[in-house]
Structure 1
Amino acid sequence: MIEQLTTEAIDLLKQLIETQSFSSEEDNTALLIEDWFTTHQIPFKRNKNNIWATNKHFDEKKPTLLLNSHHDTVKPNNGYTKDPLKAIVEDGKLYGLGSNDAGGCLVSLIATFTHFYKKKSLKYNLVIVASAEEESSGPNGLNSMLSIIPNVDVAIVGEPTLMNLAIAEKGLVVFDAKVKGTASHAAHPNKDNAIYNTIDVLKWFQDYKFEKKSPVLGDVKMTVTQINAGTQHNAVPSEVDLVVDVRVNDKYTNQEIANILNQKSPCTRIAPRSLRLNSSSIPIHHDLVKAGIALGRETYGSPTLSDQSVLSCPSLKLGPGDSTRSHTADEFIYLTEIEEGIGIYINLLNKVL
């Protein structure tokens, strides 16, 4: 049964790769996922491009475990030497856009859910959500499903982790900042040049250290990622715009980070775009984590963002594939990683369910 599910899961992944599914354009991959559930006689529901289902013997008296991964992709970069929308198998690798992030995780979780769908007397209910708009953090992704699906007590979010246990994940706040100065003609003296004023501001962002360090996630990471100023060669602009990317550990809330930067940064103005993408974690003593450790999986803190950020319950990030391959040219996943991933997911849940 598991071997058959694995074969079918790999076939589904090949179909997903060959079906364009950029964020907010996942209509057709949603149809492929619907076909899986129809074929396996599993009732499902669709909300926009999110597909979800519950186990056959769902019991409202039991806690609920969410299985989630996404079927949207980023757009391919210019470095591809292979067709990104062609599923190509070479030397045990399955190439294609979304193969690693996060198609391998998604089909492995779908196969795992299918394996457990009809089982009776489970300790947890299961709900699976194949979600949209993860890559863009859009409004119609997993965040839009939390008021629709049953209340979730704990979650496994499928992202490539080499099947190791990401027991914490950094949150993200993007800030728009402004540095002011005095506009002038470039030919005249100006001791308040906004661009020169930015030098000290950039140095402050480079050197500033947040006090609280997490044993799992380390320091808060703050990086200036964009800068924009001026429109003419002979005119000194009155202001410089900066974009600051802050990866937040589990010792701070996003609001606390915003408060600190408002109080301490030397910018004229600094404001967060959103505070909803928080850090997330699961206790090391949770049954899911203990079960994973018993299977020989390592624990670590993840610096990358996923749909964990919209969940308020404990969540574990776990999946086949390697995060360092995500968003790279000629993205791929090893077929053996999918086979191993399904096996580990099933063995993990066997210990918990």
Structure 2
Amino acid sequence: MNTRQWLETLVGFDTTSRNSNLELIATLRDSLEQQGIKSWLAHNKEKTKANLFATLPATAGANAGTTEGGIVLSGHTDVVPVDGQKWDTDPFKLVEKDGALFARGSCDMKGFIATAMAMVPEYIAMPRAKPLHLAFSYDEEIGCIGAPVMLEEIVKRGIKVDGCVVGEPTSMNVVVAHKGINVFACKVHGKSAHSSLTPQGCNAIEHAARLICAIRDFADGYKANGPYDQFFDVPFTTMTTNQIRGGIAVNTIPELCEFTYEFRNLPGMTVADIQARIDAYVKDVLLPKMRAEFADARIEIDNFAGSPALEAVEQAAITELVRALTGDRETRKVAYGTEAGLFQKIGIPTIVCGPGDIGNAHKPNEFVTLAQMERCEQFLRKLGKSLEAV
């Protein structure tokens, strides 16, 4: 199949993160197998989702047949929901209009996966002295949950590669850094009581509100005082509370309040140091207030999802290669997260470069332009040729 046909096939699978991606993964695996390419899967605990990793061995020279070294092309197979969005077309059916391809995931990021899969026959035919690898993950959109399962297996199997390109939408420009993203679930446990007997209870919502305001104060401090990195579109670490629920009735003191918060940290700022400020506030300020009302009050905080920041090394071979192939020499750093930091964490030099504008991702009528897809195809072709035997 060509790139257009692959994209049409991939967007036809509703791989919203709440759903299984196994049917899509099976389609990729079967296509690769038919072309003589072996792959392995790394599943979630429930066996309802899977990552796929495949290697196209070197085809020429003294290294013919080797699977060591080479470059990984990485992408995630899940997409964000369309719930509540007003689409002009069926979001899971590819529609071409005015030089663009519309569908959920066309931009973020099935366009890159489609291009990589369409290139496989060419890659097989190229006299490459090094292998190419394909790494397709699940659940990136809900905190990069799937990729660590695959990366753990890569380490376990002793797979060695030279570099990785994560094809998130960058308009085919080079992104050398992005922030880390860390998502926390907080449960504030108080004591219920009839609201007419307020002193007999411990209001979980009100104490949760104190913690939420403290998180906002920390965020304001980073905005006002830094540290800063002016290459980022948002040049400081951000913190925000995004979900909250609690209470069972208008006349009952709530015993439980749950909320989630996240922070997106600049490279160089550790998750532990940022979270330590929140933990200190809980221990030294909030819990004493709560336990003065209810001795068994407690607060649980769970870091349930996240991905580390990326800070690519300019001198790394993969950075120099991608810059050379794209002709892009600008320094670009972005606030959104990707799986690139996870690859870098296990020692694989990584860069971000893929088709589409991130501003079109996650929106109704998501699209990728035909011109961007063509640029991606040209880039991946050049990348393959860069591995050819001399």
Would the TM-score normalized by the shorter structure come out above 0.5?
A: yes
Which amino acid letter does the alignment assign opposite residue 76 of structure 1?
A: V
Which amino acid letter does the alignment assign opposite residue 331 of structure 2?
A: T
2:6 alignment partner in structure 1: 12
State yes or no: 1:155 paired with 2:156: no
Asked whether the 8 Å contact 2:185–2:304 carries over to 1, the reply is no
State yes or no: 1:73 paired with 2:79: yes
Change in 2 beyond 3 A, CA 1:98/1:63: same
2:122 alignment partner in structure 1: 115
Which amino acid letter does the alignment assign opposite residue 27 of structure 2?
A: L
Instruction: Report how many aligned residue pairs link the two structures.
Output: 345
- Spell out, residue by residue over 1:274-311, the C-alpha distance to the aligned partner (whole angstroms, 9 max, x if none): 47622123112223323444433243222222222432
Task: Give the Cα–Cα distance (whole angstroms) in 1 for the partners of residues 365 and 68 of structure 2.
Answer: 43
State yes or no: 1:90 paired with 2:101: no
- Spell out, residue by residue over 1:241-268, the C-alpha distance to the aligned partner (whole angstroms, 9 max, x if none): 3321111221123233333321245554
Alignment counterpart, residue 319 of structure 2, candidates 289, 295, 300: 289
Bigger helix fraction: 2
Identity %: 21
Alignment counterpart, residue 32 of structure 1, candidates 27, 30, 38: 27
Task: Give the Cα–Cα distance (whole angstroms) in 1 for the partners of residues 124 and 158 of structure 2.
Answer: 16
Asked whether the 8 Å contact 1:109–1:345 carries over to 2, the reply is yes
Asked whether the 8 Å contact 2:4–2:114 carries over to 1, the reply is yes
Gaps of 5+ in 1: 1-6
Change in 2 beyond 3 A, CA 1:263/1:350: farther
Change in 2 beyond 3 A, CA 1:274/1:254: farther
Task: Give the Cα–Cα distance (whole angstroms) in 2 for the partners of residues 280 and 244 of structure 1.
Answer: 21
Asked whether the 8 Å contact 1:177–1:267 carries over to 2, the reply is no
Farther-moved stretch of structure 1 (104-113 vs 326-335): 104-113
- Spell out, residue by residue over 1:104-153, the C-alpha distance to the aligned partner (whole angstroms, 9 max, x if none): 1112223445433343453x532112333333434476445423472334
TM-score under structure 2 length normalisation: 0.76
1:279 alignment partner in structure 2: 309
Which amino acid letter does the alignment assign opposite residue 319 of structure 1?
A: G
Task: Give the Cα–Cα distance (whole angstroms) in 2 for the partners of residues 272 and 198 of structure 1.
Answer: 15
Asked whether the 8 Å contact 2:70–2:161 carries over to 1, the reply is yes
Equivalent residues in 2 for 1:221-300, closer than 5 Å: 221-264=238-281, 267-268=286-287, 269=299, 271-274=301-304, 277-294=307-324, 295-297=326-328, 298-300=330-332
Which amino acid letter does the alignment assign opposite residue 53 of structure 2?
A: W
Task: Give the Cα–Cα distance (whole angstroms) in 2 for the partners of residues 222 and 161 of structure 1.
Answer: 24
1:273 counterpart SS class: strand
Change in 2 beyond 3 A, CA 1:118/1:52: farther
Equivalent residues in 2 for 1:335-346, closer than 5 Å: 335-346=370-381
Asked whether the 8 Å contact 2:184–2:301 carries over to 1, the reply is yes
Asked whether the 8 Å contact 1:258–1:271 carries over to 2, the reply is no
Change in 2 beyond 3 A, CA 1:36/1:178: closer
Task: Give the Cα–Cα distance (whole angstroms) in 1 for the partners of residues 159 and 240 of structure 2.
Answer: 38
Change in 2 beyond 3 A, CA 1:173/1:272: farther
State yes or no: 1:46 paired with 2:24: no
Gaps of 5+ in 2: 44-49, 288-298
Asked whether the 8 Å contact 1:276–1:310 carries over to 2, the reply is no
Question: What is the CA distance between 1:89 and its match in structure 2?
Answer: 1.2
2:47 alignment partner in structure 1: none
1:213 alignment partner in structure 2: 228
Question: What is the CA distance between 1:196 and its match in structure 2?
Answer: 4.1
Asked whether the 8 Å contact 2:11–2:103 carries over to 1, the reply is yes
Task: Give the Cα–Cα distance (whole angstroms) in 2 for the partners of residues 106 and 76 of structure 1.
Answer: 20
Equivalent residues in 2 for 1:185-200, closer than 5 Å: 185-188=194-197, 190=199, 193-200=203-210
TM-score under structure 1 length normalisation: 0.83
1:130 counterpart SS class: strand
Which amino acid letter does the alignment assign opposite residue 3 of structure 2?
A: A
State yes or no: 1:203 paired with 2:213: yes
Asked whether the 8 Å contact 2:100–2:369 carries over to 1, the reply is yes
Farther-moved stretch of structure 1 (10-19 vs 132-141): 132-141
Change in 2 beyond 3 A, CA 1:143/1:78: farther
Which amino acid letter does the alignment assign opposite residue 133 of structure 1?
A: D
1:4 alignment partner in structure 2: none
Change in 2 beyond 3 A, CA 1:149/1:260: same
Which amino acid letter does the alignment assign opposite residue 258 of structure 2?
A: D
Change in 2 beyond 3 A, CA 1:157/1:193: same
Question: What is the CA distance between 1:337 and its match in structure 2?
Answer: 1.0
